[in-house]
Amino acid sequence: MPVTFPSYPFYFLRHGVTDHNVRRVVMGQMDVPLNDLGRRQARAAAAMIGGLGIASIASSPLVRARETAEIVAAELGLPVIMVEDLQERDWGEMTGRPYHELIREITPRFAEGAEEFSRRVISAISSLTGAEPALVVAHSGICRVLRRHLAAGDAAGQVPNALPLRFAPLPDGGWREDAVAASCAMSG
């Protein structure tokens, strides 16, 4: 049965920075909290999207995304819906290794395959039933899958921490990705 993707705009927010991001360590489904900068980034992102009319928030249950979503939700006065399938890709034996050792085109032992991960992500986004427009708070891998599936943005490109992105359908059936504002991504 084919998956029907939503035909309305939605927002995406990668979690704030963690110490593992700073050290360039593969996290995958490792549960790593935000650091102080990541919490400041989440508050700045909340302020940026406060006037966008976000009506629902779906989040990965991993603590770095959940914490980011909860900070945003507190500012917007909305609940957070945890969606298991919005977790980052399971990188198997690469989890905890230096990022430069990761080769995305090769599935490490005990890892989730790229096709399986993509199907999981698209199915999760397709099944979101919250009010529109929705905010999805998750991980860089989730955003890369969205970019590939929607042909919006550079699928291999950088996904900055805590920079709100808007995905919007185009009249020709394609999609467009826009950063809400570049000032949200703090260095660190």
Q: What is the pLDDT of residue 104?
A: 84
Number of residues that this document lists for the chain: 188
Domain residue limits at 27: 10-184
How far is the C-alpha of 43 from the C-alpha of 60, rounded, in Å? 18
Confidence of residue 1 (pLDDT cuts 50, 70, 90): very low
Please check whether residue 2 lies inside any domain of the structure.
no
How far is the C-alpha of 143 from the C-alpha of 11, rounded, in Å? 11
Please check whether residue 84 lies inside any domain of the structure.
yes
Q: HEC string of the chain?
A: CCCCCCCCCEEEEECCCEHHHHHCECCCCCCCCECHHHHHHHHHHHHHHCCCCCCEEEECCCHHHHHHHHHHHHHHCCCEEECHHHCCCCCHHHCCCEHHHCCCCCCCCCCCCHHHHHHHHHHHHHCCCCCCCEEEEECHHHHHHHHHHHCCCCCCCCCCCCCCEEEEECCCCCEEEEECCHHHCCCC
Q: What is the pLDDT of residues 90-103, one digit of tens each?
A: 999 999 999 999 98
Please check whether residue 3 lies inside any domain of the structure.
no
Please check whether residue 87 lies inside any domain of the structure.
yes
pLDDT for residue 183 is more than 50: no
Q: What is the pLDDT of residues 39-51, one digit of tens each?
A: 999 999 999 999 9
pLDDT for residue 80 is more than 70: yes
Please check whether residue 4 lies inside any domain of the structure.
no
Please check whether residue 28 lies inside any domain of the structure.
yes
**CATH number (domain holding residue 21):** 3.40.50.1240
Please check whether residue 164 lies inside any domain of the structure.
yes
- Cα 24 to chain centroid distance, Å, stands at 17
Q: List, by residue number, the catalytic residues.
A: 15, 88
Q: Per the structure, how many domains does the chain have?
A: 1
Please check whether residue 117 lies inside any domain of the structure.
yes
Kindly state the percentage of the chain with pLDDT values over 70: 94
pLDDT for residue 4 is more than 90: no
Q: What is the pLDDT of residue 13?
A: 98
